[in-house]
Structure 1
Amino acid sequence: MDQNTIEEGKQMGIVAYLTLLGTLIAFFTNQDKRNAFTTFHVRQALGLWLLFLAMGYVVGIFDDWNITYSWWIFFSVLFIYGIMGAISGKTNKIPLLGDLFQKLFKSIGQ
């Protein structure tokens, strides 16, 4: 991936992590001009948001502040890691889950 591709896709890569709606906006704006950098970050962000929603339901069942705080901290760190990668122009996969997200959503951007 060359520097020009990264610079063109950086803005939508950052938007992808902001909200689930941001991920959808980045996905649909990337449909016209396929940017590999944006596609990478859309896959990572989509995986994080879907896991966040699914795990949020499970964590809500426990009704314990310690579990809830741990869950928020865990996902906050992962989202910050992804956003920092998009800002710095790097394609670092999310720890533990990045490879899975790239495989699950490989049809995005093809």
Structure 2
Amino acid sequence: MRQKELMRQGGTAAPYTRAKSKVAAGILGILLGGVGVHKYYLGRIGQGILYTLFFWTGIPALLGIVEGIIYLTMDEERFWQKYG
């Protein structure tokens, strides 16, 4: 919609590129979620640090699996609005 507005005003619209991959975030969450790699990938550095600090408890690994599945099943538009 923003591109159409820019085109009407005579400007050019840069193509929208999605920097974060939903599939990559999901796989990282499932495989390496215990140390918070998926959080670092999504730009949530503070949460990634918490996952890294508490990886020895096993809780971040369980959360990583659940979050990875959520990322993979989430609607693409909603994923990019939240993390893109």
Fold match by TM threshold 0.5: no
Using the size of structure 1 for normalisation, the TM-score is 0.31
Using the size of structure 2 for normalisation, the TM-score is 0.37
